[in-house]
Chains A and B, each alone.
Chain A
């Protein structure tokens, strides 16, 4: 039992600094399921389904790492550390992000080299790492964060997320990557996170669109 078990889980029905990230986790988990399938094909057929492997890597590098981990590393984590200097769970998460990038590099190199065995090994390692990483964030870190952040801080973080998606990622990039993730899921018969209306609302909540 973790120390966060007495704290309520992230409320996915409400847009917040943590629910946005938990919503994105569902898409990342969906891509991890695709990666499982790609690794199985690579092992069984001794070849990499290159087009789909590259599509999955694009979603993982741009959506999971740059956009999602970018929000965590540049916005949420510093905010939590400002509240509680040296906040332990954040340090663990940061170390796992670094470990994840090593697996992504290994997958990229394996695709270029056409090394199916290495691809399958790296993909499987990444899937195992990210699944437990996401569980830790959803079940422990985000619960604690929900208790630490004031409504004002939460709103400031959401505004900062918005800037990442529009200024750093660029308008339309988020939607394009989510589209690739969904197309891959459909191709491999994996349920789409976006078919859950609550998750769809979270995935489209960070919007610079002005009401007119």
Chain B
């Protein structure tokens, strides 16, 4: 039988869809949106035990979002995505968010 899934796994899976949606709509004006979607995609499939990879992806998320600050004048979906990514990043193991 499977073990319980950490809550952030479920959150990041949901954010994968949101990140893809944001990339589709905002990619032309914010090229980083497509890269952000790829990073989220990778994080979904990163094993829980691979804390080093999680650390690198968490740092990349922070870089791409300038510390999870939504772009000026961005829509509700972007705000929702960045807020969700910030929550997930803080839910990662401590050494992964340093």
- A interface residues (Cβ-Cβ under 8 A, vs B): 41, 49, 51-52, 171-172, 174-180, 182-183, 186-188, 194, 200-201, 203-205, 207-212
Contact = CB atoms under 8 A, between A and B. Distances in A.
Main secondary structure of the interface of A (DSSP, over half): helix
Contact of A194 (B11, B15, B16): B16
B98 interface: no
B24 A204 contact: yes
B13 A180 contact: yes
A182 B25 contact: no
Contacts of B11: 179
A187 B17 contact: no
A171 B21 CA distance: 12
Contacts of A209: 21-22, 25-26, 75-78
A180 B10 contact: yes
B66 interface: no
Shortest beta-carbon contacts, A-B, top 9 = A179-B14, A179-B13, A204-B21, A175-B17, A209-B25, A182-B13, A209-B77, A175-B14, A176-B14
B44 interface: yes
Contacts of A201: 20, 24
Contacts, number: 82
22 contacts: A49-B1, A52-B2, A171-B76, A172-B18, A175-B17, A178-B13, A178-B14, A179-B10, A179-B17, A180-B14, A182-B13, A183-B9, A186-B13, A187-B5, A188-B2, A194-B16, A194-B17, A203-B17, A204-B17, A208-B77, A211-B28, A211-B29
Given A179-B17, A207-B25, A208-B76, 20 more contacts: A41-B1, A49-B1, A172-B80, A175-B14, A175-B17, A175-B21, A177-B14, A180-B10, A182-B13, A182-B44, A187-B2, A194-B16, A200-B20, A201-B24, A204-B20, A209-B26, A209-B78, A211-B28, A212-B26, A212-B75
